[in-house]
């Protein structure tokens, strides 16, 4: 049965395959093309419509694909032009070499075959654009940290980590039991039970300074989603775009109140203080008192000067 919906990666791969296939099968019927790629006619029309906006850099009507499929038969009239090799500018070459170096730093050292291919391609690109010097780029996360996390998850062991907390602006030593690695909007997190906090936490992997596998008593028997959060009530004093984005508000009017749940007291304190008088925390009272104390401390510093 033909698919009526495609995942983004699956569709991207199909779009890349469509161009050479149509080029070698000019005049193919739309229904036959849809059958070859196992999608519905409607999905194939959507794909071809997307390809209308693709082409060579410049992306004016002179460089875009000239597709014709309104008659029910598919043709690309400027296929020879699109298939011609194009030269790589210096800026484009540098971007490609940087990308290859970044890719290289993420490949395990035991994949000598991949490393050799990356090095070969980077050398060829550097020669083409006459790159005058050798440079390198690394990921924000050390591969040893990734390796330690993977080992701990596989063996269900603990981790001893050094973690940089931006809320407190300090590096702390923690013993954790990792549960799973997550990718949220391109940011990688490690869900784990923290023995220092006696609670579940999510750690940004890029902020982990070091990590080592340790044997530790396992106390984790339930999901990270069962962690006790902080429920707060906040009052809007002065609506602002920053306030709406920070607390994900769709309607912020003067005097309105809303509930907000978080797992970090430090984040809540700093967010209310950063609002600059645009919001006031009504509850919980102990965090409200902590914010008042922090604000008074800042005022006292001004008075001291």
Most confident of 82-86, 99-103, 209-213, 264-268: 209-213
Scan for tokens 């998850």, then name that residue: 153
Burial status of residue 286 (CB atoms within 10 A of its CB: 0-12, 13-18, 19 or more): exposed
CA distances (Å), 101 to each of 127, 137, 166, 182, in order?
Answer: 15, 6, 29, 24
Give the pair of three-digit tokens for residue 62.
């002179």
Write down the mean pLDDT value for the chain: 80
The domain segmentation of the chain, as residue ranges, is 8-83, 90-128, 143-226, 230-304
pLDDT per position as a tens digit, 119-162: 888 888 888 888 766 565 555 557 788 888 988 988 888 999 99
**pLDDT of amino acid 66:** 81
CA distances (Å), 4 to each of 31, 50, 295, in order?
Answer: 14, 16, 57
**pTM of the complete model:** 0.38
Fold of 143-226: SH3 type barrels. (2.30.30)
Question: Which residues, at least 6 apart from 71, have a Cβ–Cβ distance to it below 8 Å?
Answer: none
**pLDDT of amino acid 144:** 81
CA 102, 104, 108, 109 torsion: positive or negative? negative
**pLDDT of amino acid 168:** 67
Fold of 8-83: Arc Repressor Mutant, subunit A (1.10.10)
pLDDT per position as a tens digit, 208-266: 988 999 987 765 444 444 445 688 999 999 888 888 888 888 777 888 999 988 777 77
């Amino acid at each position: 049965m033909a698919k009526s919906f495609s995942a983004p990666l699956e569709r991207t791969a199909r779009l890349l395959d469509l161009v050479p296939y149509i080029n070698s099968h000019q005049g193919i019927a739309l229904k036959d093309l849809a059958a070859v790629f196992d999608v519905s006619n409607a999905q194939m029309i959507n794909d071809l419509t997307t390809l209308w906006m693709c082409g060579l850099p410049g992306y004016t009507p002179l460089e875009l694909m000239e597709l014709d499929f309104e008659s029910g038969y598919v043709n690309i009239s400027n296929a020879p032009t699109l298939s011609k090799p194009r030269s790589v500018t210096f800026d484009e070459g540098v971007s490609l070499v940087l990308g290859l170096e970044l890719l290289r730093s993420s490949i395990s050292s035991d994949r000598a075959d991949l490393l050799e291919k990356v090095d070969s391609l980077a050398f060829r690109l550097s020669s083409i654009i006459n790159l005058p010097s050798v440079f390198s780029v690394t990921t924000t996360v050390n591969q040893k940290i990734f390796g330690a996390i993977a080992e701990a998850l596989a063996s269900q062991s603990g981790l001893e980590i050094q973690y940089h907390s931006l809320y407190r602006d300090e590096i702390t030593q923690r013993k954790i039991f990792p549960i799973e690695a997550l990718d949220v909007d391109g940011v990688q997190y490690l869900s784990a039970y923290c023995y220092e906090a006696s609670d579940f936490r999510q750690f940004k992997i890029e902020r982990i300074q070091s990590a080592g596998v340790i044997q530790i008593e396992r106390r984790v028997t339930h999901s990270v989603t069962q962690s006790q959060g902080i429920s707060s009530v906040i009052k809007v004093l002065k609506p602002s775009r920053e306030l709406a984005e920070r607390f994900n508000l769709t309607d912020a009017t003067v005097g309105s109140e809303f509930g907000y749940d978080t797992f970090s007291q430090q984040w809540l304190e700093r967010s209310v203080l950063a609002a600059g008088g645009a919001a006031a925390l009504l509850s919980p009272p102990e965090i409200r008192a902590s914010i008042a104390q922090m604000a008074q401390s800042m005022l006292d510093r001004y008075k001291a000067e």
